[in-house]
Amino acid sequence: MSPLLETRALTAFYGDFQALFGIDFEIDAGEVVAIVGANSAGKSTFLGAVCGLLRVSASQVLLDGDPVGGLPAHRIAAQGIALVPEGRRLFPSLTVEENLLAGGYLGRSGEWNLDRVYALFPALRARRRAFPEALSGGEQQMTAIGRALMANPRLLACDEISLGLAPVVVRDLYASLGDVARAGLSIIVVEQDVSLAQRVSHRLYCFQEGRVSLVGVSLSLTRAEISHAYFGV
């Protein structure tokens, strides 16, 4: 059986600059996979390439074994991959609730709706009519995650959701994601915090300069192995 999502020798470019040099990656249904790495290791580029924001060739990205590489982002979204983008990227002229509804634009069927999101993040219910700029960083991130869940995805990709947030807020966010994962959703977590990434994931990839420098079962990897793969020293 083919994995839910697989990339084979994935390469990606920004103009003439090559950012990814042949990434082999896979995630199964119900699995949580972390990607760690230093700045500019290619983590966000990888998510962008998978989600259709960068040009890649068809056979480099397989969803259920079918080539989907190079499809425009809105077609990838329709296939059930939802991204929580780095920096949250909420729509500033939409309220919290409208942002969530925008996430459900395609109307894919599934368990996620406004009530489920408000049950996962009770703080958002009170702020449903607020605009994103009036929210705290944590609330903004909850909205961004809720918006992605509203798409009823098969795969949720989270890009550095801990960035700029207080540790206690990060803990709560990951606790909520844990609930989501236990309900059976596949999640890719891109994180700078290695020990956090290890704790929340089944398997872990380490990227270095656009290549996979380490892959393994999260809890069996040692600190030394990861820091070697992370920094290349």
Partner 1 sequence: MPTSASELVGWADTLLQGVLLGGLYALFAMGLSLAFGVMRLVNIAHGDLIVLASFAAIALGLGTGWGPLAAFLVIVPAMAALGYALQRLMLNRTLGGDALPPLLVTFGLSIVVQNGLLEAFSADPRGLGAGGLETASIRLTSGIAVGWLPLIVFAVAAAITLGLERTFGRTRYGRAFRAASDDPVTAELMGMSHRHVYALAMAVSLAIVAAAGIFLAMRTTVAPSDGPGYLLYAFEAVIIGGMGSFWGTWAGGIILGVVQGVGFRLDPGWGILAGHLACLAVLLIRPRGLFPRTRG
Binding site for partner 1 (CB under 8 A): 51-53, 72-74, 77-78, 82-83, 85, 89, 91-94, 98, 101-103, 105-106, 130-131, 133-134, 147, 151
CB 13 within 8 A of CB 164: no
**Phi/psi-derived region of residue 183, left when phi > 0, alpha when psi is between -120 and 50, beta in every other case:** alpha
- Closest contact distance (angstroms) between CB of 105 and partner 1 is 5
78 or 123: CB nearest partner 1: 78
103 or 210: CB nearest partner 1: 103
39 or 93: CB nearest partner 1: 93
- Closest contact distance (angstroms) between CB of 156 and partner 1 is 12
Judged by DSSP in three states, 194 sits in helix
- Closest contact distance (angstroms) between CB of 167 and partner 1 is 27
CB 221 within 8 A of CB 198: yes
105 or 231: CB nearest partner 1: 105
d(CA 226, CA 206): 7
- Closest contact distance (angstroms) between CB of 44 and partner 1 is 13
CB 10 within 8 A of CB 41: no
94 or 165: CB nearest partner 1: 94
- Closest contact distance (angstroms) between CB of 148 and partner 1 is 8
CB atoms within 10 A of CB 106: 13
CB atoms within 10 A of CB 98: 15
